[in-house]
């Protein structure tokens, strides 16, 4: 099965027509439990998320800060797996055929699952792209090229240390959008520096026509408005995961306030991206 939905392309075309940046929200699949995770996933578009990054829980991440690591640990403790992550996407698609869902994570679980089976199942379930942060361009034959051959977007990350000599390699086989990591470090450890992001996005636009989304360090409505003024989309992960974590009981279980805490945050962030260009 090949990917044909093009939901990311349609999303960014719609945002361009509205002359506003998009809002991407990261949550971890299965956090804090499968039922609540599905409820959170379903609630995001209505709260203002234009696209969703759905984290594939992994026990040994390299880019995630403590908050997202903790969300993966909660999910794994509650029985999360790659197969169950894909099943949550499938259940989300029963009600939403529009909002892009990009699977984000690490290669080890995909390798164990089997690359071709993973691509078949992810496309069939309704996933719209992949971000696999520990596969550099030199390892494209492992997953990136097989995904691109099926038409499934493979989103790549550029960072403050990605120089002009490295960028063409990073952009090879990249599709959907380019994800710019606004800080040097792991998620959730610093605020996105707006002036530096503006300069970086301007430099990246000289190398690619892909939409540029900025993540790492965006936590508030004000951050979203500032970063959204220079980027095609803002991606928020740690703040979203913290909103969920802040509602859990002493045993890490969901409470009545869990879904509402996330949607309240997303609603504020959505106001920010809509204010970004006046």
Judge contact between 200 and 168, C-beta under 8 A: no
* β partners of residue 214: 180, 234
Asked if 121 is an active-site residue, the reply is no
Q: Which of 31, 33, 50, 53 is catalytic?
A: 53
Q: What is the DSSP secondary-structure string of 80-133? A: --HHHHHHHHHHHHTT-SSS-EEEEE-HHHHHHH-HHHHHHHHHHHT--EEEET
- What is the enclosing helix (H) or strand (E) of 47? helix 34-47
Ordered alpha helix ranges (H), 126-193: 144-149, 167-171
Identify the sign of the CA torsion 214, 81, 60, 165. negative
Place of tokens 């995909």: 110
Asked if 64 is an active-site residue, the reply is yes
Q: Which of 33, 64, 121, 140 is catalytic?
A: 64
Q: Could you give phi then psi for residue 249, rounded to 5 degrees?
A: -80, -175
Judge contact between 128 and 8, C-beta under 8 A: yes
- What is the number of H-type helices and E-type strands within the chain? 12, 8
Which residue from 196, 187, 183, 212 is spatially nearest to 61, judged by alpha carbons? 187
Let me know if 163 is exposed, middle or buried by CB neighbors in 10 A (0-12, 13-18, 19+): exposed
Judge contact between 201 and 230, C-beta under 8 A: yes
Token code pair at residue 216: 């790492």
DSSP structure class, residue 138? G
**Which residues are the active-site residues?**
53, 64
């Amino acid at each position: 099965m090949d990917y044909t939905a093009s939901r990311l392309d349609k999303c960014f075309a719609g945002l361009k027509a509205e002359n506003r940046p998009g809002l991407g929200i990261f949550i971890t699949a299965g956090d804090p439990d499968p039922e609540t995770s599905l409820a959170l996933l379903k609630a995001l578009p209505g709260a203002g998320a234009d696209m969703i990054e759905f984290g594939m829980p992994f026990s040994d991440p390299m880019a995630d800060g403590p908050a997202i690591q903790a969300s993966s640990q909660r999910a794994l403790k509650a029985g999360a797996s790659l197969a169950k992550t894909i099943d949550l996407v499938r259940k989300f698609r029963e009600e939403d055929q529009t909002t892009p869902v990009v699977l984000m994570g690490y290669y080890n679980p995909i390798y164990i699952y089997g690359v071709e089976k993973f691509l078949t199942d992810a496309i069939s379930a309704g996933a719209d792209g992949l971000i696999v942060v520990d596969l550099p361009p030199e390892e494209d034959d492992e997953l990136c090229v097989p995904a691109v051959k099926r038409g499934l977007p493979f989103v790549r990350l550029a960072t403050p240390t990605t120089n002009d000599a490295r960028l063409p390699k990073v952009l090879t086989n990249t599709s959907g959008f380019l994800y710019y990591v606004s800080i040097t470090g792991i998620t959730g450890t610093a605020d996105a520096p707006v002036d530096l992001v503006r300069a970086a996005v301007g430099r990246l636009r000289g190398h690619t026509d892909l939409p540029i989304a900025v993540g790492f360090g965006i936590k508030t409505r004000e951050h979203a408005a500032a970063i959204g003024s220079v980027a095609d989309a803002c991606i928020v992960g740690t703040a979203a995961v913290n909103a969920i974590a802040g509602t859990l009981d002493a045993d890490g279980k969901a409470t009545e306030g869990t879904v509402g805490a996330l949607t309240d945050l997303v609603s504020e962030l959505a106001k920010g991206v809509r204010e970004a260009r006046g």
